[in-house]
Structure 1
Amino acid sequence: MFYRPQSAYFLRSDALEKIYSKSEQARIGELTQVYPTQLTLDNWRDHRESLSQVEYLLSGWGMAVMDTELLDALPNLKYVFYGAGSIREFYTELAQEREIGISSAWRANAIPTAEFALATIILSLKQFWRVQRKAKQDRKWQKPLHAAGTYQSTVGIVSLGAIGRKVAQRLSQEHELNLLAYDPYVSVADSSIDGLRMVSLEELMASSDVVSLHAPNLPETRGLISQSLLQSMKPHATLINTARGDLIDEPALVQLLKDRPELDAVLDVTLNEYENQDSPLWDLPNAIITPHIAGSINGECQRMGALMVDELERYLSGLPLKHNVSSQTLARMA
C-alpha cells in the first residue's frame, strides 16, 4: 500500500478555506494523510495525545508558538508550510534546534502589497488624494498646481526586500522616473532595476516627491522615520506606508501634518491598528488611512496557500524548496 505521511492543518478556524482552497485541500489529501480535525489555538491541546505521527503542518494565521509544549506533542514534526507572511511570532529557536524546517508564503503576500504601493505611488504623484478632497469641497474643476506628475519626478523606496524590489522594478520598467532607494543591506543597486540609485536615508527623504516604506519591523527599524527626517521632506511630497506603523515616529508625523498641510501621508498601517480609535491622525485631512488592505485579502490569500502546497509537493518529491526560510533570511524578515 502506498505510504502517505501524516499532515495536519494548524491555523485560525476562519483562515483554512480563505488560504487553502477546496482544490488545494484535495491536493494535500492526495499527498498526505490529513489529520481529521483542524488544529487551532483553542483546541490543539485536546488532541495532543494523537499528534505523534504528524510530520507536516499546513498553517497560516493563528499558528501556535512552537514552544516545548507544542513540539513535545509533535515529536515527528519535520516541516511547517506557512501560508502567510511573517513567522517571527511563532517560529522559535527551539524549533530550529530540533531542525524543524519552515517555508513561508511571504513572497506571494508581497505581490498584492507591491501592486497596492505602485498604484498609490502613481496616484500620489498626481496628488489624487488632495485633488479629490478639494474637488468635493469646492465642487469645482481645478487641476493640482503642485503635483509632481509621473515624468522625471523622484520616488524614494525605503528597503529593497521582496516588496520594495518589486515596486522599484515596476516603476523602472513602466515609468520615466528618478528612482532612489535606501537599504543598509544593499550596497550596489540591482542591475535589473534600471536607473535606480542607492542613497542615504537623509537624501532620500529630502529629495523625493513620494516616499514609499517597505522596511521590516525589526528593533533597529522602529522609529526609523524620525522627526528630523519627516521635517526634511520636500514641499508637496507624499509619504506612503504599507509596511508597519512602528517604522514612523507617529507623534512627530501627526505634528508634521498639522504644521505642513501641503504634505500628505497615505497610511495602510499605523501604530496599534486595532486600538487606534483615538489617534489624532483620523482628524487630519492630509492623513489618508486604509485598513491594512495592501497585503493579501479575500481571494488573494489563496495564492499563498497554493504556493505552500506546491512547496509541500516539492518537499515530498525531494526537489529543492523555493521558499524555505533560512536563518539568514529570518534575521531580516518582518
Structure 2
Amino acid sequence: MGRLPAARTHEEQSRLRASLTAWFFGASILAIGPASAPGRERSPRTVLRPHFKERRDVANRPRALVSQWVQPNRLVYIKEELDKAGVEVVQAPFQNEAELLEVARDVEGLFENPVRITREVMAQLPNLRVLCAAGIGVDRFDVEAATDLGIVVVNLPRVFHREVAAHAMALLLGLIRKVTVLDAGIKAWAKAPTGPSWPRMPEGVPHHHIYGETLGLVSFGNIARVVATLARGFEMRVIAYDPYVSQAVADDYGVQMVDLDTLCRESDFISCHSPLNKQTWHMMGEAQFRLMKPTTLFVNTGRGPVVDEAALIRALREGWIAGAGLDVLAVEPPPANNPLLTARNCFITPHIAWATHAARARLMQIAVENLRAFLDGHPVNVVN
C-alpha cells in the first residue's frame, strides 16, 4: 500500500495549523472540531495559552522529552539548538505507558519514543502539543486521536530512505547468494574438517540467478524507488503495487505498476516497503504467499505487522516460497521461541536497516528543524 491517507479534510488541516500559530504567538483557544458535539467532551487542549514571548523565561519554557534511545552526543546537539528556540529538552528512560506518563506529565513535545502513544496516553498528557516520529513511520502514534485532540504529528521523510534501500538489497543479495548458509557451513567445517576441501553449496539449497529476474515492490514510496534504481544495475524487471502511485510516476523509474496478486504471481523476488496502518495490517498473508513461486525470495524492511507472521512461517516450512530476509518482525524483540529465529531459509537483522552514523546525524538535524518550524507557527512534515 502507499502512504497514509489524509486523516482530515484540507479545511480541518488549515484550522489545525492556524490554531497552532495562534497558540505560540498570542492567546488562543486550541480546539479541533466542534467541542459541543453530542456525547463529546471538550478536548483537554481547549485551554487558554499565554503569549509565546512570555514563555521564554526559564520557568515557563516549553519542554520536549526525548527517550533513552537518543545518544549522548546527539542529545547535546538537540539541547543546544532547541535552547536557542526557547525550548527545554529533557531526557528520561521509559519502556512502558506507566513510565512514560510519570516523566511526561508536563511536556509539550515528544520525540523518538519506544512506547505506543494511544488516545488514552494522550488524554493524560494535557500539555502535549507535538509528536515527532524518528523516521517516516508513524504507527507508534494514534494519528486519528492526535488529530481529535489538537496534537500535531510530524515525521522525518527522506532521512533513511537510501540506507533502508541498501539494506533491502543486502538482504536480497544475501538470500540469492546464500551468504549465511555458506558461512555457517564453512564455520561448521572449520570446527570438524571432513576432508581437504571445504564444503560447497549444501545439498538441496537452490542457487538463484539475479540478472533479468523480476523484482516486485510492495509500496512504491521513497525507499522502494531507490531499490528500483539499484535493481536496474542488475538488469532486473521491476514491478510494483501501490494504489496511491500512478503509472506516470512509475515510468520515471522504469517500473510497471500492477495489482498485488499479479505482483505475487510474477515476481522472483519481493521486497516489502509498506507503512503500517489499518489497511496494510497483514496485507501479506496466506493468500499472497500461496500465489508466489516456490523459488520466490521475500524481503521485508517496512513494518513487521504488515506480514501475517504465522502465514510466513508456514510458507517457509512448507516450501511455498524459498526464503525470507527480515529487518522487521511482528513483535520486537521477538520471543525466543519464534520459529523464524531458527528457520534455515530465513535470516533476520534487528530493525537496523536505517542506522548509519550519517543517518543518525541527519535525523537529529531534521527533528530540530521540525520543532523549530512548529514553534514558528509553520509546522512541516505534518501527517495529520
Aligned to 1:122: 173
Aligned to 1:332: none
Code of the aligned partner of 1:61 = N
Aligned to 1:162: 222
Deviation at 1:101, TM superposition (A): 2.5
Aligned to 2:156: 105
Residues 268 and 293, structure 1, Cα contact 8 Å, conserved in 2: yes
Corresponding residue to 2:113 among 40, 54, 61: 61
Deviation at 1:158, TM superposition (A): 0.4
- Distance (Å, rounded) in 1 between the aligned partners of 2:297 and 2:136: 27
Q: Which segment drifts farther, 14-23 or 193-202?
A: 14-23
Secondary structure in 2 matching 1:152: coil
Residues 104 and 125, structure 2, Cα contact 8 Å, conserved in 1: no
Q: Deviations over 1:221-271 (max 9, x none)?
A: 222222232133224321111122322232332222222297111122223
- Distance (Å, rounded) in 1 between the aligned partners of 2:264 and 2:239: 10
Secondary structure in 2 matching 1:168: helix
The structure-2 alpha-carbon separation of the partners of 1:219 and 1:96, relative to structure 1 and needing over 3 Å to count, comes to closer
Question: Normalized against structure 2, the TM-score is what?
Answer: 0.68
Residues 146 and 236, structure 1, Cα contact 8 Å, conserved in 2: no
Secondary structure in 2 matching 1:276: coil
Aligned to 1:323: 381
- Distance (Å, rounded) in 2 between the aligned partners of 1:34 and 1:101: 19
The structure-2 alpha-carbon separation of the partners of 1:227 and 1:43, relative to structure 1 and needing over 3 Å to count, comes to closer
The structure-2 alpha-carbon separation of the partners of 1:69 and 1:223, relative to structure 1 and needing over 3 Å to count, comes to closer
The correspondence of residues 1-334 of structure 1 with structure 2, limited to 5 A, is: 3=53, 5=56, 6-12=61-67, 14-17=68-71, 20-34=74-88, 37-38=90-91, 42=99, 45=102, 48=105, 51=106, 57=109, 59-62=111-114, 65=118, 67-71=122-126, 74=127, 79-93=130-144, 95-133=146-184, 139-141=198-200, 146-149=207-210, 151-172=211-232, 174-191=233-250, 193-260=252-319, 263-296=322-355, 300-316=359-375, 321-326=379-384
Deviation at 1:125, TM superposition (A): 3.9
* Greater fraction of residues in strand: 1
Runs of at least 5 residues in structure 2 that lack an aligned partner in the other structure? 1-51, 190-197
Code of the aligned partner of 2:382 = N
Code of the aligned partner of 1:102 = V
Secondary structure in 1 matching 2:158: helix
The structure-2 alpha-carbon separation of the partners of 1:135 and 1:229, relative to structure 1 and needing over 3 Å to count, comes to farther
Residues 7 and 58, structure 1, Cα contact 8 Å, conserved in 2: no
Q: Which has the larger radius of gyration?
A: 2
Q: Deviations over 1:102-156 (max 9, x none)?
A: 322243244432221132233334443454455556723459973222x222111
RMSD of aligned C-alpha atoms? 3.5
- Distance (Å, rounded) in 1 between the aligned partners of 2:358 and 2:213: 34
The structure-2 alpha-carbon separation of the partners of 1:95 and 1:201, relative to structure 1 and needing over 3 Å to count, comes to closer
Deviation at 1:192, TM superposition (A): 6.2
- Distance (Å, rounded) in 2 between the aligned partners of 1:189 and 1:19: 44
Code of the aligned partner of 1:30 = K
- Distance (Å, rounded) in 2 between the aligned partners of 1:191 and 1:86: 22
Q: Which segment drifts farther, 245-254 or 85-94?
A: 85-94
Secondary structure in 2 matching 1:266: strand
Deviation at 1:92, TM superposition (A): 5.0
- Distance (Å, rounded) in 1 between the aligned partners of 2:171 and 2:209: 14
Deviation at 1:304, TM superposition (A): 1.5
Q: Which segment drifts farther, 94-103 or 270-279?
A: 94-103
The structure-2 alpha-carbon separation of the partners of 1:141 and 1:306, relative to structure 1 and needing over 3 Å to count, comes to same
Among all aligned residue pairs of Structure 1 and Structure 2, give the percentage whose two residues are the same amino acid: 26
Secondary structure in 2 matching 1:272: coil
Code of the aligned partner of 2:207 = H
The structure-2 alpha-carbon separation of the partners of 1:24 and 1:197, relative to structure 1 and needing over 3 Å to count, comes to same
Code of the aligned partner of 2:168 = A
Code of the aligned partner of 2:219 = S
Code of the aligned partner of 1:20 = R
Task: Tell me the number of residue pairs that the alignment of Structure 1 and Structure 2 aligns.
Answer: 311
Residues 79 and 88, structure 2, Cα contact 8 Å, conserved in 1: no
- Distance (Å, rounded) in 2 between the aligned partners of 1:165 and 1:229: 22
